[in-house]
């Protein structure tokens, strides 16, 4: 099941990549970042992030997904950019970094996104 989900995500993100979408990781700002270690596999973290983006009304823009790291970009309706980086630590743990811009308000938005991700982990 997880293998099928990984193949699905890699296929979707490969199509986006081939269509000219690329993620610029240089624009992630330290001041608006929240980082958290997850006790979920890399694939589970990808699914949880996808669901959280939908629930937070963030429009998915593009992503780069490899076997060990995923870099996703989304946009709020007001145009503010959200960056999410998911890194595989081992088969049962992942690391996630959420950035929603700069400043304290951006940190709060990043915390809200992270909270939404955890909500999906508890509903499983």
- Residue 3: pLDDT band (50, 70, 90) is low
Residue 31, pLDDT above cutoff 50: yes
What strands, in cross-sheet order, belong to the sheet with 69-75? 33-38, 93-99, 81-90, 69-75, 59-65
Rounded Cα distance between 20 and 10, Å, is: 16
Strand partners, 73: 62, 83
- Phi, psi angles (nearest 5°) of residue 32: -105, 15
Within 8 A by CB and 6+ apart from 52, the residues are 113, 116, 117, 119, 120
Predicted TM-score of the model (pTM): 0.69
Query: Which architecture does CATH list for 2-122?
Result: 2-Layer Sandwich (3.30)
- The mean pLDDT of 24-50, rounded to a whole number, is 74
Domain ranges of the chain: 2-122
Which three-class secondary structure state does DSSP give residue 67?
Answer: coil
Rounded Cα distance between 107 and 53, Å, is: 16
- The mean pLDDT of 101-124, rounded to a whole number, is 76
Residue 20's pLDDT is 44
């Amino acid at each position: 099941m997880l293998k099928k989900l990984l193949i699905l995500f890699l296929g979707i993100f490969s199509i986006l990549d081939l269509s000219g979408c690329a993620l610029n990781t240089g624009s992630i700002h330290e001041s608006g970042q929240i980082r958290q270690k997850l006790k979920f596999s890399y694939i589970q973290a990808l699914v949880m992030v996808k669901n959280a983006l939908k629930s937070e009304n963030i429009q998915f823009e593009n992503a780069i997904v490899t076997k060990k790291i995923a870099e996703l970009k989304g946009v709020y309706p007001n145009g503010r950019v959200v960056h999410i980086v998911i890194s595989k630590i081992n088969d049962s743990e992942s690391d996630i970094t959420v950035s929603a811009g700069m400043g304290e308000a951006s940190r709060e938005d990043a915390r809200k996104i992270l909270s939404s991700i955890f909500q999906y982990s508890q509903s499983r």
